Structure 1
Amino acid sequence: MVKRYQRLKEIQRLDPERDFLEIYRLTVSYEFPWDITRALELALYRTYAVPSIGRLLARTGELTERSQKRYDDTALLLDTVVEHGFDSEAGRTAVRRINRMHRSYDISNDDMRYVLCTFVVTPKRWLDTYGWRGLSGHEVRAFAAYYRTLGARMGIQDVPQTYEDFERTLDSYEKEHFGWDEGARTVADATLALMGSWYPRPLAPVVRKASLALLDDSLLRAFRYERPGPLARGLTHGALRLRARAVRLLPPRSTAHYARQNPEIKGYPDGYEVARLGTFPTPGVRGCPVPHGRTSDAPAEGTGAAG
């Protein structure tokens, strides 16, 4: 059990304001790679429930007609910065692609800032509930610093400064903006179908029920999904907590795990170029998906094997 917390001790020796990238990398690629992936998938649903975001995602067709590619590109792009850093050639390419993509659409600063908040708040809340341990104070501060930096490089204005600021911004934005939109529901349905497709067909209905059981009531109301019963919620939450107990007994990871190694990434068996990932302008559509993507005019650097 002592060994299980060795990396946390390493993290606590670092400065969360100066060493935020290293702390974030250690946390997401060594301590919680599976949990962070699941938490960010849940964050996607939160963005859909804001009609201005969900409606535009539906209009672009990226998550309804090209769901797997969109998922792959999102995960790979975000992880490029985590793995290589903001100032690496690959990291700069990823951020340029994000910015190039978003300049092609009419996206409000408020929506961009809200999506950024989901990347900070949703993982912490997931780990507080389902992680083999919660985030330490060092890690929480590093998460906030990491996304402050990403937000600044994306040109987002009025980015929250602390985790508490991120959380307040997210909660107030959801309270004001969550609501029904037919296109957003279509995007949510497509995402549920995508997640079900990763498993043998007979398990798809189980995956759908489990996914819905993880959505809070505000999301269920926004999408007009039927509220899962106590049995479905109890089984889902219980299974995740049992997993956390089992993981706590395992030795710490000895190697980093990045998105390209995730079995859910299907589209790049022979590798990929960072500069060719992501979405590109859709003719006649002024409005865009959430912050995932890459710069179309960037050099073709930062290849990796998807697994």
Structure 2
Amino acid sequence: MEFHNHTLHEATASLPADESWTNFYIVILFLYPIVCALLRNHRLRTTFETFPYTTRASFASMTDTDAQQIQQIAAEIEFPFTFEKALQFALFRSYGIPTISKLLVATSQFSEPSTACKRYVDTELLISEFMGYKPTEERTREAIARMNYIHSGYRKSGKLLDDDMLYTLSLFVSEPVRWINKYEWRKLEDMELCALGTFWKSVGDAMEISWEKLKSGTGGKEGTWKDGLQWLEEVMEWSEQYEREYMVPNVNSMKTADETTTILLWGIPKSLKGVGKHFVSALMGDRLRNSMMYPKPPAYYFTLISTIFGIRKFILRHLSLPRPYFLRVHKVSDEPTKNGYYHTMNYVAAPYYHQPTIWARWQPAAWYTWIMGLPLPGDEGNKYHPQGYKIPEVGPDKMSGRGHDFANGVVEQLRSTRSGGCIFAAKNG
């Protein structure tokens, strides 16, 4: 009896401790979403406090450098996954215009398996270079100069139309806006929208793109926009109209879409390629899907996409702490090797320009890649350029070692014309 009473006493004495732990967990479960919300709002508030653009009137004075930094926060810290997918689909969407896809098929750069992947990586790399660094940095100027050289021959011959250049640029600013506002845990603020508009207007100027087709583009290169937000609104409106008129079914669009879809589904098992292609098709939208002559997937794919992104949005908004700076998703190395080469920090498909470090070849993701029979960084000798890249050499193999004089001229011009300052205030002052 004494033993029984002692045991009963111990059991009774343990109840308050169990209840205290239960109460502790309840408090944590209650407070954690609040902490997540507070920290995410603090991140946004800090961004607004860092940059002095709190009113519509102040948007006119936004500098090119500030615009790049605001966009970089969105692309690398706030919405890295969605921003990346939006840029991938921006390139993908441009193939829906027959004049663009016809040129790509004629050059075989995006329509043949032997060239499509590298050309895709090169395009993504040059964009990452001028998006990821200040407008006044030399590597930014070199990236734009190299891109201008790659386009120069096609523009001079009339094969690459001015309207197609404007349309492609419009996608790189409008697709992130659409994707983030639709799929992310919050929509972009007006200051962020203005930053995207200011940045890409400046890039367009550096690419010598004509703005005459936009409502306020009648003033020539400068136009009559009061700020980057107005420019963004006009370029998105024009882009929508351009698609309605010119995005029509075309076999060349289908060819380029097939090769790019293969890249987007690079690591997917063969047995799931068909499912993956249906998901890509569902994300296209009716107009783009029709232009690429892809069948509309079953209705449940649209439901699955909506459900998956809806759950992700809820988790990010209520259960995820904001991404710290040291986990930012940066595409390329900040510093060159002793031989002057840069490396990609991650890769979508084949490991072009990726340094074959121990981690790159033995991390868990690398084991999956190996099991799938896909190449790892350092495989197949120099095929994937494991030594890295130099910006003036990026691009199609036939252009390797060419265009240096052209690029040097563009770099010199950008030193004086793209200083990182405000591109709207001068004409509004």
Q: Normalised by the size of structure 1, how large is the TM-score?
A: 0.88
Map 1:69-108 onto structure 2 (within 5 A).
Answer: 69-105=118-154, 106=158, 107-108=160-161
Counterpart pick for 1:279 among 396, 400, 403:
396
1:206, distance to aligned residue in structure 2 (A): 2.2
Paired residue for 1:30? 77
Number of equivalenced pairs: 289
Once residues 294 and 130 of structure 1 are traced to their aligned partners in structure 2, the CA distance between those partners, rounded to angstroms, is: 42
The Cα shift of 1:198 comes to: 2.4
The equivalent position to 1:124 in structure 2, one of 149, 152, 177, is 177
Aligned to 1:58: 105
Query: Aligned match of 1:254 in 324, 342, 351?
Result: 324
* AA at the equivalent of 1:250: S
Q: Report the Cα distance in structure 2 between the residues aligned to 1:10 and 1:76, rounded to whole angstroms.
A: 30
Gaps of 5+ in 1: 283-292, 300-307
The 3-state SS of whatever aligns with 1:132 is coil
CA RMSD of superposed structures (Å):
2.2
Q: Which residue of 1 aligns with 2:314?
A: 245
CA offsets per residue over residues 242-263 of structure 1, 9 Å max, x none?
2222222322222221223334
* Cα distance in 2, alignment partners of residues 78 and 6 from structure 1: 30
Task: Look up the equivalent residue of 1:69 and give its one-letter code.
Answer: K
Does the CA-based 8 Å contact 1:55-1:181 persist in structure 2? no
The one-letter code of the counterpart of 1:187 is T
Q: Structure 1 CA distance, aligned partners of 2:323 and 2:402?
A: 33
Distance 1:44 1:82, change over 3 A: closer
CA distance in 1 between partners of 2:128 and 2:277 (Å): 26
| Higher RCO (Cα < 8 Å, 6 or more apart) | 1
Listed as ranges, the matches of 1:189-268 within 5 Å are 189-248=258-317, 249-255=319-325, 256-259=328-331, 260-264=344-348, 266-268=351-353
Contact 1:98 1:294 in 2 (8 A): no
Structure 2: distance between partners of 1:83 and 1:220: 31
* Aligned partner of residue 86 in structure 1, secondary structure: coil
| Match in the other structure for 1:290 | none
* Aligned position for 1:2: 38
Contact 1:124 1:135 in 2 (8 A): yes
- Indicate how the Cα distance of structure 1 residues 186 and 76 shifts in structure 2: closer, same or farther if over 3 A, else same: same
Q: Flag the structure with larger Rg.
A: 2
SS of 1:214's equivalent in the other structure is helix
- Aligned position for 1:143: 196
CA deviation map 1:189-229 (0-9, x unaligned):
11111212222333322221111110111111111211112
Q: Which residue of structure 2 lines up, in the alignment, with residue 286 of structure 1? A: none
Deviation at 1:88, TM superposition (A): 0.7
Contact 1:109–1:157 under 8 Å retained in 2: yes
Give 5+ residue unaligned stretches, structure 2. 1-36, 54-58, 215-224, 226-230, 332-343, 356-387, 409-429
Task: Report if the CA contact (8 A) 1:77-1:294 is conserved.
Answer: no
More deviation, 146-155/164-173: 164-173
What is the alpha-carbon distance in structure 2 between the residues aligned to residue 59 and residue 41 of structure 1?
22
Farther off after superposition, 23-32 or 142-151: 23-32
Q: Secondary structure at the match of 2:284?
A: coil
Q: CA deviation at 1:294?
A: 12
TM-score, normalised to structure 2, is 0.64
1:113 Cα offset (Å): 0.5
Cα offset for 1:295? 8.4
Q: SS of the counterpart of 2:265?
A: helix
